[in-house]
Structure formats: C-alpha cells, structure tokens
Amino acid sequence: MNPFKSPARVVVCVSLSTLAAALASGCASAGRSTVGSQAFDPPPMSAEIARTLPAFDGTGRSLTWTEVLDLASASDVIVVGEQHDDPGAHAIELALVEDLLDRHPGSMVSMEMLERHEQADLDAYLADEIDLATFIERTGSARWSGSQRWEDSYGRLVEAAKARGGRVVAANAPRKYVRRARVEGYEALEALPEEERVLFDLPERLDEGAYRERFREIMTSMREANGNPPPSEESIENLLRSQMVWDATMAASIANALADPDLPADAKVVHAVGRFHSDFEGGTILELARLMPEARILVVSVTPDGVAPGDDDLGRADVLVFGGAR
C-alpha cells in the first residue's frame, strides 16, 4: 500500500471518453485560448447537481456526497483530475471547494490553470485591487483550452475561495520553461538565475514505470490516429521531460502551501488538474508522494461519460465521479 494513500482506498470517477481526451485533460497538449464567441460553451453545472452525481470507491461501492466529503476531510490534499472542457468536473471541484472551506476555514485551492508568475495578479484580484476583467486579461484566462468561459468554469473556484477568505495557489510552471525542458533539457533550466528558478521545479528523475508507459501509449495512439509513425524514444523522452516539469512544479506548489506555519492545523488543499497527471498514480501524485511522504492524499477522477465504474477504472483513483448520469 502506498504510504501517501488514505487507509481506505476510494475512487471518485467520471469515466474517460477517449485516451486522447484524457491526454489533453492531462495537459500534455492542453493550452490556453483566447477564442471568442465562436467557441462552444457547454452550460455550467451547479454544485448542487454535482453533489448528486454517482460516486464510487475503489471496490465499486456507491458513495453519498457526505461520504465523499468525509473522505476529503480526512485527507490533507484532495487532487481532482478532470477533463478540461467537462462542466461536471468543474461543478465537482466547486462543490468540494465550497464544502471543504466551510468545514475547514483557512483551506486553499490550488490550480493547474494558473502559473506561478501569475500569483501576484491572482492575489491582487483576491484583495480587490484589480477587477475580474483585468485579472482575466493579464492571465490570458478568457477561455482555458478553448473550453468554457473562465467565469463558468475555474473562475467559480476562485470566487468560492475568495468568498470564504481562502487562499488560491497559481500552481503551474510557466510554459516557456516547460518548452525549454523539452528542447534544451533540464541542465539549461538548472543554469537559470534564482529569480527564474523559483518559477518552476524539476523532478529528481524521469519516471521509468507505469506513468512513462501510459505516456508512450497515448502519444503513440495520437500519432497513429493522424496517420503518423510511432514517436521515437528520443521524442518520448523530450516530451516526458516537459510533462514532469508540470508535475514537479504543481506538487511543490502544493507542498509549499501546506508548509505555511500560519495555516490552521486542519487546513486542506483542493488541487484542480488534468486527469492524466493524477489518474493511476500519475506524475503529480508521484511527485507529491516524494515531497510529502506522510501526507494523506485523496485522488478524485471525474469523467463526462458513464454512470458506473468498469474494469478499466480499477486503480484509477481513490474516488470516481460520473457526470454522464446527470
């Protein structure tokens, strides 16, 4: 049993639609978009509806929302893996933020969708020093990955935390450093001055196990779907370097936030992230385990399809939530 897992392994899953969608959700290919009115807007789902979605633990036992919330309350970090354009996932995240910050004042929200260099703008917005339009413009967050408007998706998490006096952590690495990891390698990043080094973290080593294999399989599947040959091992290595800069940076952002001595003893962190980073003990979970071996981490996986777990959900997460049943 992994030392960073809760004693009772639980899975909240919303089933995967496709492997390619899962990879995009995991941000190996996701990005911000300033797409305007031509983008499709899935209607937002309310937190009230999200609390009624089918949820299951790792044995396939159905869970009530109260049971899910109790599991989250018994954890230090709650990682919610999502597909970025899934209204159900955004609503589950919102429900967890609302309920956990009400139960545990002083808890925090951590977001893949905001990068460390944007923390000052985020803090300024939380302190009402800038308005929402200015925040969205400065962070390029009008739409994230060309999906819902900020106000209908991740913005609701920020507003829920703001209303409860909670901190919000811009957890991710700026994209220029992720790109340099792929093109130039970690040595180039390690040579940067300290004022840049604080904007990202690096893993101790690249994963050689199941995470790498999943990464290779999905990259191969995506290339073959476009009529291209499988990626070379060098290409896999380069891309995995980028992927794990995201993983290491987000994990370190969470660990640093929880290390704040001024936090209440029972403070939690709810982290929103693409599912590829967290499903099946993905890279962000591996890095959290390395940095916080004693932490209690609850992994929630949310998918827009399905109504109950299948064989391919075994080991996916601690809690599985299914949005297709709405």
Neighbours of 286 (CB within 10 A): 23
CA distance 122 to 253: 15
Using alpha carbons, select from 9, 6, 1, 16 the residue that is nearest to residue 310. Answer: 16
Identify the band that residue 60 occupies on the pLDDT scale cut at 50, 70 and 90. Answer: confident
CA distance 91 to 51: 9
pLDDT (average), residues 96-103: 98
Q: Please tell me the total number of residues recorded for the chain in this structure.
A: 326
- Say if CB 296 and CB 42 are below 8 A apart: no
136-151: pLDDT as tens digits: 999 999 987 666 899 9
Give helix 154-163 / helix 87-103 axis angle, nearest 10°: 10
pLDDT at 27: 53
Using alpha carbons, select from 291, 221, 297, 287 the residue that is nearest to residue 259. Answer: 291
| Sequence-separated (6 or more) residues with CB below 8 Å from residue 191 | none
DSSP string, 42-74: PPPPPHHHHTTS-EE-TTS-EE-HHHHHHHHHT
**Whether pLDDT at 170 is above 60:** yes
204-263: pLDDT as tens digits: 999 999 999 999 999 999 999 999 999 999 999 999 999 999 999 999 999 999 999 999
**Whole-Å CA distances, 31 to 112, 147, 212, 292, 312:** 11, 10, 21, 28, 27
pLDDT at 324: 74
Q: How many CA atoms lie within 13 A of 56 on its CB side?
A: 23
β-bridge partners, 62: 56
Structural domain spans, the chain: 19-28+43-114+158-325
pLDDT at 171: 98
CA distance 156 to 94: 7
Tell me what the pLDDT averaged over the chain comes to: 88
pLDDT at 26: 44
**Whether pLDDT at 31 is above 60:** no
Neighbours of 93 (CB within 10 A): 28
pLDDT at 40: 58
Sign of the C-alpha dihedral computed for residues 218, 79, 63 and 10 taken in this order: positive
Q: Model's pTM, two decimal places?
A: 0.89
pLDDT at 299: 98
pLDDT (average), residues 308-313: 92
For residues 7 and 275, the model is more confident at 275
Q: What is the DSSP letter of 148?
A: S
32-42: pLDDT as tens digits: 544 444 455 67
Neighbours of 229 (CB within 10 A): 8
Sign of the C-alpha dihedral computed for residues 158, 162, 163 and 166 taken in this order: positive
β-bridge partners, 94: none
User: If residue 116 lies in a helix (H) or strand (E), which one and from where to where?
Assistant: none
**Whether pLDDT at 87 is above 80:** yes
2-25: pLDDT as tens digits: 322 333 334 443 322 333 333 444
pLDDT (average), residues 64-93: 96
- Say if CB 55 and CB 12 are below 8 A apart: yes
